Amino acid sequence: EKWPKGDEKSWKAALRGVTTESPEISKSIVNHVQTSLARAPYNIDDFGAYQAAALSVRDNLIVNWNSTQLEYSRKSPKRAYYLSLEFLMGRTLSNALLNLGVLDNYSSSLSSLGFSLEDILVQERDAALGNGGLGRLAACYLDSSATQELPVWGYGLRYKYGIFQQLIKADDGTQLEAPDPWLDHQNPWELPRLDVTYEVRFYGNAQRWDEGTGRATWSGGQEVLAVAYDVMIPGYGTKNTNNLRLWESKPKRGFDLQSFNAGNYERSVESSNSAAAITSVLYPNDHTSFGKELRLKQQYFWTAASLADMLRRFKHLEKPISQFAEYNAIQLNDTHPTLAIVELMRILVDEEEVPWDGAWTIVTNTFFFTNHTVLPEALEKWSVPLLEHLLPRHLQIIFDIVSHPAIIRESSLFLQSVEKKFPGDREKLSRLSLIEEGFPKQVRMANLAVVGSRRVNGVAELHSDLVQKNLFPDFVEFYGKSKFGNVTNGITPRRWLDQCNPSLSALITETLKIERNVWLKDLYKLEGLLAHVNDSEFQARWAAVKHQNKERLALFVERQLGIKIDASALFDVQIKRLHEYKRQTLNILGVIHRYLLIKSLKPEERKKVVKKVVFFAGKAAPACTLFKMSTLLPLTIRLIVNVARVINADPDTNQYLSLFFLPDYSVSLAEILIPASDISQHISTAGTEASGTSNMKFCLNGGLLVGTVDGANIEIAEEVGEDNVFFFGHLTPDVEDLRYQHTYHPIPVEEKSPALAHVLNTVSSGIFGGDGVYEPLLNTVRQGDFYILTDDFDSYIRALEMVDEAYSDRTEWIKKSIRTSAKMGKFSSDRAIQDYAQEYWNIESVKL
């Protein structure tokens, strides 16, 4: 495209501050073009205009940020800190414009300068410092905390490279990974705080003083500098602007001058490279514990810097250290930050000279722990020799916690009761232990997190139940039930409705006859839509918005993949990380089943088929490495891509069924896909998906849900009514029995599900290419079938048939869609964050 686009006169007027619309905004944009970007006015492309607009918005955020932080300092409220290794923020500009209430003003200013806001917004790169649900949840919680005016800060790492960029190889459909250098262009949303730094130690020696005090001195080893970068988090419709502090690692002493002078250049920069490596890249795996030293370094670096920062802030209050937990609550987002428990003990005992028991009381009143999965492979363990090498003092403290008198007292009491109940049950105690016996011994981070926290929660009712019954039953017995709770996840309606679906938001505001900023802050107000379900004009407008969003997606796909899509077809979407338990394989096998069925019909019969377009998107953890067997997930992507190639090219069927794998799934891509879905798939094996959050996003945007009785699907159905959800499959209590049966009394697929057997054989026959390449994937279904696809396939197909049937009655469908959206109040992250604030952290809002 050619630029400059605008009219020179309007730029000059803007500079003089004499434009008719929002003169201050136009002037500030043009000023930033000239000063911050050092470009002549008028001489700017879309990206430059984005940068200038972002810098201008940032000026407002900074003012609000400063007032908020000043107010927090003045009022000294109890604060909460959200420790998360991942914050999947996505784009910021549109969110900041919305929250500041200046969207229209910027839109008109930009347009007077010759730009369209829409073109400007897409210039921004996603901040993708996360893998999936866990990181996006953290981002939603920051938005809600600021909106609820709660004094909450996030702490994370400023990775130089976020989640990898996913490319799909054109010839065979395999996933390729490329780095995501998201900071290559200046990041306008962060404030480098080069003066806020802490030294973090690794390796070295821990010397105990004497056994009595439990104190020690830790010295030597490597020292690395943590430098703070602050990201401003504006609340919606309030001036309150919270902070997300991200740490970058830097060498403490530049480079080694001695080696340099001796001519050994490489040696001279070795240690500075190793320091910088700590925050260089996000680990692209969720649900796997890797045991890699660099990952452990990340975890300690981040928790140590964050705690030092909190301590410094607390000291400004000039309160006795014994009151630390009265002023600070720290939320552990999964086990990743569990070392913070040990680090706070170290600070209190070694540096603040607090007696051990007092320190332990402070610690166990400060921390709260959220578990996000019951999958055993995700539970983090660190080997004792690795800990001893990297963090010798922390290992001592962990062993001291194990033999801490109070714990010993309790456990011997507990042991006595166990003895009584289960005579001779030594296994129970070994299950409770922080240390797992073996070669080498391992520290169980989840057990440590439970022991060191005041309360523990899961992320949906079913999950929290499984956390108590399956994951930590011995701890429940040990501490009693009251230590364990549930906070069902939530999503921010600002990004996941108003921003991604402005037409629906406008229709809702008009229909409810209340201000947008009222229902966007009190999502239960959506229930008011129920009064309009039978209004045919409203139904038509609701349907028109959905259609418009489908057209938008169709256009996006056409631009990306060059294929036209019929927006009147049923849009069926599954977007999430690729994982065996999420069962993308079940979905693609279902698509093949549908294809074969349509293919077998006579041409006139085909016309009765419900037209459908199926979308997949999601990244697979790179199929690794020297140490770990590669997974079959990339093979699932390959199968999807190659099935898509065949069926999209089949003239017999392609008007009735088409299939797309959209590469490089991201927050921004989700913002296009979610408003466009008629139906979305949440089909994990029952009992495996802790919650899921995209299910909530789809439903909020009037998409219906096909799913298993799992995670938050269950609570969604409770809210919207089971007749508005398409449930299928075996229930959680059946799964173990079925797995047992697969191992000891296997029934051949041909017998269990002839339809599935036919699909598997078709793939084996090679019609989707691959020369036997899919056999390992198919064999996981034919043998073992850990995720019970063979048991669920027939009921899955029946659920999809019911979807077709329901979709054929378009008026009924629209009613279901409206009802679903109307009942999503519970799933606002504002509700979730209030649960944490009241039931866990005990913090209150601070009004500016």
Annotated catalytic residues are 372, 576-577, 582, 693, 697
Instruction: State how far the Cα of 723 lies from the Cα of 196, in Å rounded to an integer.
Output: 55
Nearer to ligand RUG, 53 or 138 (CB): 138
Backbone region of residue 553 per phi and psi (left: phi > 0; alpha: psi in -120 to 50; beta: other values): alpha
Coil, helix or strand for 338? Answer: coil
Nearer to ligand RUG, 483 or 697 (CB): 697
Nearer to ligand RUG, 297 or 579 (CB): 579
The structure tokens listed for 735 are 């799964």
Instruction: State how far the Cα of 228 lies from the Cα of 543, in Å rounded to an integer.
Output: 48
Residue whose structure tokens are 């976020």: 162
Nearer to ligand RUG, 141 or 182 (CB): 141
The structure tokens listed for 704 are 């219906």
Nearer to ligand RUG, 90 or 692 (CB): 692
Of 321, 297, 302, give the one whose Cα is nearest residue 311: 321
Considering the complex, what minimum distance in angstroms separates the CB of residue 287 from ligand RUG? 5
The structure tokens listed for 251 are 């060498």
The structure tokens listed for 337 are 């930050």
Contact 140, 490 (CB under 8 A): yes
The structure tokens listed for 487 are 């906070």
Coil, helix or strand for 770? Answer: coil
CB-based burial label for 573 (10 Å; 0-12, 13-18, 19+)? buried
Nearer to ligand RUG, 143 or 689 (CB): 689
The structure tokens listed for 792 are 């669920």
Backbone angles phi, psi at 80, to 5 degrees: -120, 145
Of 551, 570, 496, give the one whose Cα is nearest residue 526: 496
The structure tokens listed for 791 are 């048991």
Nearer to ligand RUG, 84 or 834 (CB): 84
Considering the complex, what minimum distance in angstroms separates the CB of residue 136 from ligand RUG? 8
Nearer to ligand RUG, 238 or 713 (CB): 713
Nearer to ligand RUG, 129 or 349 (CB): 129
Instruction: State how far the Cα of 443 lies from the Cα of 436, in Å rounded to an integer.
Output: 6
CB-based burial label for 564 (10 Å; 0-12, 13-18, 19+)? exposed
Nearer to ligand RUG, 160 or 697 (CB): 697
Which residues lie below 8 Å from residue 402, measured CB to CB, with a gap of 6+?
433, 434, 435
Of 310, 467, 450, give the one whose Cα is nearest residue 376: 467
Pairing, β 679-682 against β 570-575: parallel
Q: How many residues does the chain have?
A: 848
Contact 653, 592 (CB under 8 A): no
Considering the complex, what minimum distance in angstroms separates the CB of residue 353 from ligand RUG? 36
Considering the complex, what minimum distance in angstroms separates the CB of residue 735 from ligand RUG? 16
The distance between the two most distant Cα atoms of the chain, rounded to a whole number of Å, is 89
Considering the complex, what minimum distance in angstroms separates the CB of residue 684 from ligand RUG? 8
Considering the complex, what minimum distance in angstroms separates the CB of residue 338 from ligand RUG? 12
Instruction: State how far the Cα of 446 lies from the Cα of 287, in Å rounded to an integer.
Output: 14
Nearer to ligand RUG, 120 or 129 (CB): 129
What's the distance, CA 490 to chain centroid? Answer: 11
Considering the complex, what minimum distance in angstroms separates the CB of residue 459 from ligand RUG? 4
Coil, helix or strand for 748? Answer: coil
- Which strands sit side by side in the sheet containing 442-444, from one edge to the other? 381-383, 442-444, 435-436
The contact set with ligand RUG (CB under 6 A) reads 132-134, 137, 286-287, 334, 372-373, 378, 459, 489, 689-693, 711
Of 556, 582, 583, give the one whose Cα is nearest residue 567: 556
Extended beta strands in 433-531, E state: 435-436, 442-444, 455-458, 484-486
Of all residues in the shown chain, the one whose CB is closest to ligand RUG is 133
Nearer to ligand RUG, 126 or 286 (CB): 286
Residue whose structure tokens are 């420790």: 83
Instruction: State how far the Cα of 426 lies from the Cα of 395, in Å rounded to an integer.
Output: 24
Considering the complex, what minimum distance in angstroms separates the CB of residue 141 from ligand RUG? 10
Contact 690, 458 (CB under 8 A): yes
- Please calculate the CA angle 2-7-24 and round it to the nearest 5 degrees: 115
The single-letter DSSP state of residue 601 is S
Considering the complex, what minimum distance in angstroms separates the CB of residue 680 from ligand RUG? 14
Coil, helix or strand for 121? Answer: helix
Considering the complex, what minimum distance in angstroms separates the CB of residue 712 from ligand RUG? 7
Considering the complex, what minimum distance in angstroms separates the CB of residue 431 from ligand RUG? 21
Residue whose structure tokens are 């500030």: 28
Considering the complex, what minimum distance in angstroms separates the CB of residue 284 from ligand RUG? 12
